[in-house]
Amino acid sequence: METSQRIQKMGEPALLKYYPLVSEAQKKGKKVYFLNIGQPDIKTPAGFLKSVNCIEQEVLSYQAPEGITELREAACDYYQRLGLDYDSSDLFVTNGGSEALLFTFIGICNAGDEILTAEPLYSIYKEMAAATDVTLVGFKTYAEDGFALPDVSVIEAAITPRTKAILMTNPGNPTGKVFSKAEIEVLVKLAIKHNLYLISDEVYREFVYDNQGYLSPAQYLELSQNFILIDSISKRYSACGARIGFIVSKNKELMGQLKKLVQMRLSVSTVDQIGAISLLKLDSHFFDGILKEYTSRREIVYQALQEIPGVICKEPRGAFYFMAKLPIKNASHFIEWMINEFEYQGETVLLSPANDFYLNPKDGADEVRIAYVLNGDDMKTSMEILKHGLEAYALAFPKQCK
């Protein structure tokens, strides 16, 4: 029996494929620090668990496909606090940000249509595109200049008659890039000029450092009919296991068509929706301590990377990731060696190979993504292990090093 060409085109995310190797290493008593995936270690707010534990329903029934009314209203209140004017008719609840993206790709593109995005990109975008017969077209950004957008002429040259949207991730995963006002306005103007959708994935919105102001393309009223907001509670509330996301747009025709998709899958988890209501009602000051904690972790990692010879990176301005060039030729080989062969005082680290965040797997071969999602002491230890690992790798594989 044959499987579809769509599913055959999909790949396995590199941030997950090393787990069998990790399991074997752990069986041998090796401790592994997981810096490969954006799983925060901050405690999920108690209000979520309390709300879930206090559910009095005798039967967990389907909810409205669009989402529980109280949750949608709480989300709109949250956006109002950010200066974004949405009402509940502009918003659907989804099974995480991933389903919101999947529905967006299905809803705006025909087979063979194109979505334009910056590289490096969130690796799951590639699998979304493969599953929906969408072609992702990338334009490169580089670690050396903090992943700044290229000149507008470079981006515009990539637009074709099949281009349906520009996709941005702000703050960026995997780069930690925060778009400047000027960069956002470049994308807004291009979307309007070429009548494209501008999709903004803003799941890391609260993780913006150095007293930068938050800015979303949603604040440009002239873009309202072209704009789609993708959101999720997972990262900001440390609730990755509660699969609650949102797709938001003022384009009534689009939302009317997307309603067919939310109806098709019937309902998002009742339990998770009830818990999420309490999260969206939290005061914005809830994030103050969390942002301080991640700022400290960022400084720990940045200082350590600056002290390792041959490493190239800029300090990220948002999210909780570093993209770093290492003084090696093949990051995938290095990562596997770190798990299989290396240990420092009985411990090692798991990183993500950066080539998974490019459309061409040959790109980013010497780069890794580091998620600073562990406490400060563990991040210090992890960086010490990485330093010793690079030193040992250079001795073991001198031809694989720069």
Q: How many CB atoms lie within 10 A of CB 347?
A: 15
Q: With contact defined as beta carbons under 8 Å apart, do 92 and 76 qualify?
A: no
Q: What is the pLDDT of residue 57?
A: 86
Locate CATH 3.90.1150.10 in the chain: 5-43+286-400
Give the Cβ contact number of residue 238 at 10 Å.
20
Q: Quote the pLDDT of residue 179.
A: 95
The pLDDT of residue 196 is 98
Name the region of 255 (left: φ>0; alpha: ψ -120 to 50; beta: rest). alpha
Do 203 and 170 touch, CB atoms closer than 8 A? no
Q: Rounded to the nearest 5°, which phi and psi values hold at 322?
A: -115, 140
Query: What confidence score (pLDDT) does residue 17 get?
Result: 80
Distances in Å between the Cα of 240 and the Cα atoms of 41, 104, 188, 276 are: 10, 21, 30, 11
* Residue extent(s) of CATH 3.40.640.10 domains in the chain: 46-280
CA distance 248 to 90: 6
Residue 376 CB partners (closer than 8 Å, separation 6+): 296, 297, 300
Nearest alpha carbon to residue 183 among 355, 4, 346, 317: 317
Q: Give the tens place of pLDDT for each residue, 203-235.
A: 999 999 998 888 999 999 999 999 999 999 999
pTM higher than 0.75: yes
**C-beta separation of 11 from 360 below 8 A:** no
Tell me which residue of 49, 64, 36, 6 sits closest to 241, measured CA to CA. Answer: 49
Q: What pLDDT is stored for residue 15 in this prediction?
A: 66
Could you tell me which residues come within 8 angstroms of residue 159 by beta carbon, excluding any fewer than 6 positions away? 116, 190, 194, 196
Alpha carbon 289 to its chain centroid, in Å, reads 22
The confidence score (pLDDT) of residue 7 equals 87
Identify the segments of the chain with pLDDT beneath 70: 15
Query: What's the CATH fold of domain 5-43+286-400?
Result: Aspartate Aminotransferase, domain 1 (3.90.1150)
At residue 143, the pLDDT reads 84
| Fold of the CATH domain 46-280 | Aspartate Aminotransferase; domain 2 (3.40.640)
Contact 326, 368 (CB under 8 A): yes
| CA 52 from centroid of its chain's CA atoms | 26
Distance between CA atoms of residues 192 and 85, nearest Å: 20
